[in-house]
Amino acid sequence: MRLKVSNLVTGYNRDPILNGVSFGLEAGTLLAVLGHNGAGKSSLVRSLVGLLPAWEGTIEIEGHDVTTRPSKERIRAGLAVSFQDDPVFPTLPVKTNLRLGGYAHWRDRKRIERRTEEVLTLFPKLRVHYLRPAYTMSGGERRMLSIAMALMSEPTVLLLDEPSTGLSPGMTAHVFESIESVSRSLGISVLLIEQNVEQALRHADRVLVLKTGKVVFDGPPENLASDATELVMMF
């Protein structure tokens, strides 16, 4: 099991947001996490990366309990994240952004160069902008750069926080295809937080639906709902 979350409870101040969330993520699986605003999706990401402490329950990465460990140790264990809010360094070239993404291996120059070539192969548009500042790229291209930066640490588990935010329908489809390609070609497990239900269901292997901090569905997308009414009720 690449990622295992058991009975996770967390929140802000004294207000719980997640109430006993449990799920597992196998190798090479793309898991889409869906839910209404306030369902706990962002809190789940923050808790997994160590920015929000767990009140109860456990988080395991590759069999290692990281529940109380700092973010840097979770990264070393195989976790990487691309947050929602355009997490790139806009004034720095794509080349430098990628190197910063691989800071965990900064002493191994050959390893970073090899990984850079791998991510440029996955995201060929980045090669065109390689020496240009990130701000010269479109929103979709910056999102690809953010994902590429996360991949530079050679994770086994990749967390993506609403990658379609602010993108056109065409670019959204392209980004989702790239995410699926990453999961398939590199064997990386992907946890995808997303509001675009249509695209998420199209590309996911499994779907987790959160409602008021609890899991109300965990299974293959084709079993999510028998009709639109049932799907709406879940949200």
- The predicted pLDDT at position 35 comes to 93
Residue 190 CA to residue 188 CA, distance in Å, equals: 6
Top-confidence residue, 10 or 176:
10
186-209: b (≥16 Cβ within 10 Å) or e: bebbbbbbbebbebbbebbbbbbb
44-99 pLDDT per residue, tens: 999 999 999 999 999 999 999 999 999 989 998 999 999 887 679 999 999 999 99
* Cβ atoms of 41 and 52 closer than 8 Å: no
Across-strand partners of 60?
Answer: 4, 65
What is the phi/psi pair of residue 78, to 5°? 125, 10
212's tokens: 């008021």
- The predicted pLDDT at position 25 comes to 96
Q: In terms of DSSP bridges, do strands 157-161 and 3-12 run parallel, antiparallel, or are they unpaired? A: unpaired
Across-strand partners of 65?
Answer: 60
* Cβ atoms of 138 and 83 closer than 8 Å: no
Average pLDDT over residues 104-110: 75
- The predicted pLDDT at position 234 comes to 65
Q: In terms of Cα–Cα distance, which of 225, 235, 123 is closest to 182?
A: 123
CA distances from 34 to 96, 112, 117, 136, 201 (A): 33, 34, 33, 32, 10
* Three-class DSSP category at 83: coil
* Three-class DSSP category at 32: strand
* Cβ atoms of 112 and 153 closer than 8 Å: no
In single-letter form, the type of residue at position 105 comes to H
153-207 pLDDT per residue, tens: 999 999 999 988 888 888 888 888 888 888 888 889 999 999 889 899 999 999 9
- The predicted pLDDT at position 195 comes to 87
Average pLDDT over residues 218-234: 72
- The predicted pLDDT at position 231 comes to 62
Domains of the chain: 1-77+194-235 (3.40.50.300)
